[in-house]
Chains A and B, each alone.
Chain A
Amino acid sequence: MSTPSLPRVQHIIGSGIVAAVGVWVAYVSYTQQPAEAFLFPRLISSVFVVLALWTFAKACLGWTKVGNGISVTQFTNLIPGLIIALIYIFWAAKGLGFYTATTIAFFILLSLYDPAPHGALKSWGKRILITAVFMAVMYALFAKLLNVYTPREVLF
């Protein structure tokens, strides 16, 4: 038996959330009316909840063998990018306008994760150039070629 590479608590939390969703889905499926509309969800949720509880029980007992979880380093690395991405998607894209928000988010993400040194002036110029080219391509593709009308608040 291989040693689990992840602290058991991470698996317990992860599978616990899935199990909670499974129980909620099963509860809603069996209690909501009209019953005919929930015939198929009942069928699925019965299997869903059994498998989810099984997975949760295995996690609690420390029998989980699959899934590497997230290390502290990975977590600290991904958090800034994830926060920026979520702000971009759930607020800025509509609040600032699609193209403005995308330009800002793209440039910040590029600057955050670019392995090139932050002190070098040349690398900043490169990032600005990449952002400009990317936005020009996106504008040409979506606004001109596909005629997609996007929310426009600030600038464009």
Chain B
Amino acid sequence: MEFLFYMGDVFTPINFGLLLLGTIGGLILGATPGLSPTMAVALLIPFTFQLEAAQGLILLGAAYTSTVAGGAVSAILLKIPGAPANIATTLDGHTMAQKGEGAKALQLSFLASAVGGVFGVLLLIFLTPVLAQWALAFGPSHLFWLAILGVTVIGSLDSASVVKGLLSGCIGLWLATIGFDDIMGAQRFIFHPALGGGINIIAALIGLFAIPQVITMFAKGRAGDGAEVIKVQKHPIGGAIKEILRNKRAMGIGTATGSIIGLIPGVGGQIAGLVAYDQSKKFSPDRDKFGTGHPEGVIAAESANNAMVGPSLVPLLTLSIPGSPTAAVLLGGLLIHGIFPGTDLFDNHPDVAWTFINSMLIGQVLMCIFGLYVAGLAAKVAQVPQSVMAAIVLGLAVFGSYSVQSSMGDVYVMASLGVMMYFLERFGFSAAPLVLGLILGPIAEANFIQGSMIANATDGMAPYFLGGGLNILLIAVVIASILYSGYMELRTRRYTSKEEIVA
């Protein structure tokens, strides 16, 4: 119950103000099609430089939580999911809005998000310290394999092509080696002076997530989105609460599914929402009503995608392995404040860790309260033309990456990586494993070198890195995730794409 000791820190004027700002801003950003939670958090990182670590994380955490929930607004009122996590919400949410039940759909969506989100954060609160202690048993070889696991799991599970996903991870791992070698001081792959200090993580994150989206908006040309916001009639909140209580099964399935999926590194909210929707439909006596504007569909999908948020941070805070691309960006936010996740975080910075986690808990409640009021404004923001969004995101990306170290080199790196990523995405590569490779590369290399030294002084490389129960278990998980994804890829196209839903 250590978290209760730090609960008061969330309510200091600055911390609570940042929590409110992150929550309301996140709801609006989340409703904006094209601004994914990952990109929103990446663009916010430069604004946290001058804040204390806990304050910066409160802002980023609140934005993460509420962008996922805010995405439901455009999913329901425009049939455009604000984020991939809201794809399943469009199926019944938009149909409800078309039937004149837009307000009810929004209320159900925010209430379900809050219930799922609170449960997810409670899981984070109770699982993290236990796993963090367990992580103490990890040596360099285990940490090396864990870093590789983080890259391969996201590379294989998060990509449409296993080979291209893994290749993206390799590109990220290679990019992480650019610059001066830590031990020998040797120059590695410095083919431009801007790369002398290596690739700055924050600039890279901004470039890899923001610039491809800007170019995608350019590629759509001058055509408008053609999406019209459906007018929302008033609906009593009491009615929505009763509806939630009537649909405990959908809520339970959504929350449980989201929590479990969140714990698995690499499997994001998009999958959580779709799996919860599918399972809820299977177990519902009204399964025929799904897709026709059935409240159970909205409740299952939204409770799942927010229940996923808390557990997705468990592997990050305990083992330094981000469970999702957004968690990877949050890791970048931690590292710029000199804080390393794992036991160090809970032993040396418990105030930062618990204030951040507690703020996510309070943030879920704020998100529910403000979501209901901000929905109308968010829906208007969601109609902002792509041309305006592209120009705004480009400007923020340039200023944000420059402000990291007041270096034009970072801006060049940001732009180069962003343009490269756009074209790579068009050929089936994915940004998530590349980012994971870039972030986990230094962790993998440091432990590989440290492990090599131990191995050379003891049994040799193969017994050290390939022997022992934990090493074998981690290697088996790496191989299993690749084989499973390969099998699924061969069997069928696994997941419904955003384009298919919108169409």
Contacts and interface: CB of A to CB of B under 8 A. Distances in A.
Interface stretch (B31-39, B157-165, B279-287, B361-369): B157-165
Contacts, number: 190
Interface in A121-135: 130, 134
B398 to A, nearest CB: 6
A154 interface: no
Given A78-B215, A82-B419, A109-B390, A51 B163 contact: yes
Contacts of B166: 47, 51
Interface in B410-451: 411-412, 415, 419, 423-429, 444-445, 448-449
B387 A110 contact: yes
Interface in A11-62: 11, 14-15, 18, 21-22, 25, 28, 32-34, 36-41, 43-45, 47-48, 51-52, 54-55, 58
Interface residues of B, number: 63
Contact of B163 (A55, A70, A148): A55
Given A48-B170, A64-B428, A81-B218, A14 B423 contact: yes
B188 interface: yes
B219 A70 contact: yes
Contact of A48 (B160, B174, B424): B174
Contact of A115 (B387, B427, B449): B387
B227 interface: no
B239 interface: no
A69 interface: yes
A105 to B, nearest CB: 7
B46 A114 contact: no
Given A55-B167, A114-B385, A88 B398 contact: yes
B164 A109 contact: no
Contacts of B217: 113
B163 A73 contact: no
Nearest to B225: A115
Interface stretch (B99-107, B178-186, B325-333): B178-186
Contacts of A54: 163
A15 B163 CA distance: 12
Contact of B406 (A15, A48, A58, A148): A148
Contacts of B186: 32-34, 37-38
A86 to B, nearest CB: 7
A102 interface: yes
B389 to A, nearest CB: 10
B391 A110 contact: yes
Interface string B242-272: 0000000000000000000000000000000
Question: Considering the complex of A and B, which 8 residue pairs feature the smallest CB-CB distances, nearest first?
Answer: A67-B428, A113-B387, A66-B428, A81-B218, A37-B186, A77-B221, A37-B181, A48-B170
Given A74-B219, A78-B215, 4 more contacts: A82-B419, A85-B415, A105-B395, A148-B399
Interface of B: 46-47, 49-50, 160-161, 163-164, 166-167, 170-171, 173-174, 177, 181, 183-184, 186, 188-189, 214-215, 217-224, 385-388, 390-392, 394-396, 398-399, 402-403, 406, 408, 411-412, 415, 419, 423-429, 444-445, 448-449, 452
Interface of A: 10-11, 14-15, 18, 21-22, 25, 28, 32-34, 36-41, 43-45, 47-48, 51-52, 54-55, 58, 64-70, 73-75, 77-78, 80-82, 85-86, 88-90, 93-94, 98, 102, 105-106, 109-110, 112-116, 130, 134, 138, 141-142, 146-151
